[in-house]
Amino acid sequence: MSRIAVIGAGAWGTGLSIVLGRKKTHEVQLWAREAEVCESIASRRMNDLFLPGQFIPASVTVTDNLTEALENTEIVVSAIPSQHCRKIAERMAPYLRSKVPIVSATKGLEEGSLLRMTEVIEGVLCSNNKPKPRIGALSGPTFAKEVARGDPTAITIASAGPPKIPIRRSTDRSGSMAASPAHWRIWGSCRTCSKAAAFP
């Protein structure tokens, strides 16, 4: 069982947490800034503010404590809105272990600098005397509500080098890589590898 921190409990972060927690093969820590989000998830297993009507599995634990969310995590998924990404990355930096992979799930560019979120996170961590992070960008034509309710979804994770996130191969003859659960398929792309990859 992997311990995964999802940073940001908006609609997209909550949807990703539901997918990661649905099969109970991961222990998911969901960090929420808003007290009302923490309260609604803890008491009703729903994010009434950002993703109403979607049940959040018991394997997802919500917290408003960033240190607690990142403690002993094996993968970090950043789902912070682009305008807040730099500030939250600066807060995360002291608690991130150097070899922990980071998946940026935020779309858009930073206002002013026009940097991608992977570049923002990498810049913040390197300026805090951290080694260059293992980071990938998760993106595709997806909607939080559809992902949360289990609609078939295909999405891509891209990185500068071979993925450093646990992957597993599908047994189908097409040679595709299948993520778990069956409706959630993630394809990988990198500059230095030619085959697709996926992680659950």
pLDDT tens, 55-79?
A: 999 999 999 999 999 999 999 999 9
| 131 pLDDT above the threshold of 90 | no
pLDDT of residue 195: 44
Within 13 Å of residue 14, how many CA atoms lie on the same side as its CB?
28
| 171 pLDDT above the threshold of 80 | no
Whether residue 196 is contained in a domain is answered as: no
* Domains of the chain: total: 2
Model's pTM, two decimal places?
Answer: 0.84
Whether residue 77 is contained in a domain is answered as: yes
| CATH number of the domain to which 62 belongs | 3.40.50.720
| 181 pLDDT above the threshold of 90 | no
Task: Provide the domain limits for residue 107.
Answer: 2-139
Same domain, 27 and 104: yes
Q: Are 13 and 79 in contact (CB under 8 A)?
A: yes
Question: Residue 191: pLDDT band by 50, 70, 90 thresholds?
Answer: low
